[in-house]
């Protein structure tokens, strides 16, 4: 492991969801291991959740005025385009003040103007693509940046950079603390429901139907349920009206504990979730978000399901009864559940953050 000597500044740009930010945080933690004089600045959009997540980890944060274009309609899309020069000059101002050794884009809209401004100022740049099908920002940036790092081999076909490396997707180190692969004997079966950092309304609704179905058949389970902030009130009311029990909160701060307690995870298939499940060897039922750009969540889920490390259900096929019966299948067959966890773990890349930082250090030292 290369130790970084002297003062060292770097910028990590991107966001929009926790799935973009958490890999960036994992990389930041690895950089800090290599230098006690590293100063890391995150540049994000104007999403309150991003600032809240980063502040919990103690990182400096700057926001720029940038939004996504896709799916916003031509009027809003035009407004976003007209605002790009402002975000570009905001990025230039941040670069001048911070003088980073490199800029690392982790996907999301704010990575675009930040990496472009760095490139035009002669500052080394790299991007990391988490999903199997790259987002628009990274597809464009791959033509400009010095280095492209990818989580899935499949994404290389959609990127134009000549310097592309398969690294996997970094997982936050704290998730590995005290996480067990084998379900705890004698304890009640525990299901973790997590639709990503912002929740998933469709999963919330169907899971409550499944829980009601299980209760009607005398099958009791523990529930840890991340609802997302926007859907929390509706979900809380639904638990009450149906007479159901469970731990339900808008956002789980201590995911290490939640994963540790869970026998199986029900959730979306963002790249961060898929690599966390793989790294921890957690069995899962994945329901890809059907409106994700280019169906990248389905491709993510399939990469794990094909190896036997997860079960994938398309949202259009999802019903409460189907989900409940699937859960009962694994409640009654702990060996199959354990084997699913082992197959998931084979897909993990626990050294992804180290590999990424090695590649970033090569840029810095050129």
CA dist 274 and 256 (Å) reads 15
19: annotated binding-site residue?
Answer: yes
Tell me the sheet residues that pair with 266: 193, 285
190: annotated binding-site residue?
Answer: no
CA-nearest of 90, 93, 122, 123 to 109 is 90
Contact partners, residue 141, CB within 8 Å, separation at least 6: 105, 111, 112, 115, 116, 125, 127
Residue 236 burial class via C-beta count within 10 angstroms: exposed 0-12, middle 13-18, buried 19 and up: middle
- CA neighbours within 13 Å on the CB side: how many for 95? 24
Residue 220 burial class via C-beta count within 10 angstroms: exposed 0-12, middle 13-18, buried 19 and up: exposed
314: annotated binding-site residue?
Answer: no
Is the distance from CB of 250 to CB of 199 less than 8 angstroms? yes
Torsion from C-alpha of 72, 77, 81, 82, nearest 10 degrees: -120
**What are the distances in angstroms from CA 225 to CA 293, 303, 307, 321?**
26, 25, 27, 18
Rg (alpha carbons) of the chain, rounded to whole number: 21
Q: Is 105 helix (H, G, I), strand (E, B) or coil?
A: strand
For the chain, the 3-state helix, strand and coil shares in percent, each to the nearest 5, are: 50, 15, 35
34: annotated binding-site residue?
Answer: no
228: annotated binding-site residue?
Answer: no
CA dist 324 and 50 (Å) reads 34
270: annotated binding-site residue?
Answer: no
Cα angle 349, 125, 40; round to 5: 75
Binding residues: 17-19, 131, 172, 197, 252, 297
Binding residues for UDP-N-acetyl-alpha-D-glucosamine: 17-19, 131, 172, 197, 252, 297
């Amino acid at each position: 492991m290369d130790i970084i000597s002297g003062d060292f500044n770097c910028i990590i740009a991107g966001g929009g969801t926790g799935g973009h930010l958490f890999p960036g945080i994992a990389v930041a933690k690895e950089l800090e291991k290599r230098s006690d004089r590293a100063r890391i600045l995150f540049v994000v959009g104007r999403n309150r959740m991003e600032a809240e997540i980063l502040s919990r980890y103690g990182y400096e944060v700057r926001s720029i005025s940038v939004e996504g274009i896709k799916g916003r309609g031509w009027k809003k899309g035009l407004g976003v385009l007209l605002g790009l020069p402002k975000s570009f000059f905001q990025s230039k101002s941040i670069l001048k003040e911070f003088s980073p050794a490199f800029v690392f884009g982790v996907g999301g809209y704010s990575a675009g103007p930040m990496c472009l401004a760095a490139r035009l100022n002669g500052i080394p740049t790299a991007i990391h693509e988490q999903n199997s099908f790259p987002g628009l920002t990274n597809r464009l940036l791959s033509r400009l940046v010095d280095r492209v790092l990818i989580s899935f081999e499949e994404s290389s076909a959609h990127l134009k950079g000549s310097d592309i490396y398969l690294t996997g997707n970094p997982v936050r180190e704290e998730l590995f603390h005290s996480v067990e692969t084998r379900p705890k004997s004698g304890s009640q079966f525990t299901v973790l429901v997590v639709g990503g950092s912002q929740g998933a309304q469709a999963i919330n609704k169907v899971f409550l139907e499944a829980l009601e179905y299980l209760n009607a058949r005398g099958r009791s389970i523990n529930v840890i349920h991340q609802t997302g902030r926007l859907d929390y009130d509706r979900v809380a009311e639904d638990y009450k009206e149906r007479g159901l029990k469970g731990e339900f909160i808008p956002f789980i701060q201590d995911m290490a504990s939640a994963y540790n307690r869970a026998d199986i995870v029900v959730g979306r298939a963002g790249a961060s979730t898929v690599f966390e499940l793989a790294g921890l060897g957690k069995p899962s039922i994945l329901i890809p978000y059907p409106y994700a750009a280019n169906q990248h969540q389905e491709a993510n889920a399939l990469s794990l399901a094909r190896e036997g490390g997860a079960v994938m259900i398309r949202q259009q096929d999802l019903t409460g009864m189907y989900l409940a019966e699937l859960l009962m299948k694994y409640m009654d067959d702990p060996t199959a559940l354990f084997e699913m966890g082992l197959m998931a773990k084979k897909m993990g890349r626990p050294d992804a953050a180290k590999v990424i930082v090695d590649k970033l250090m090569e840029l810095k030292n050129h």
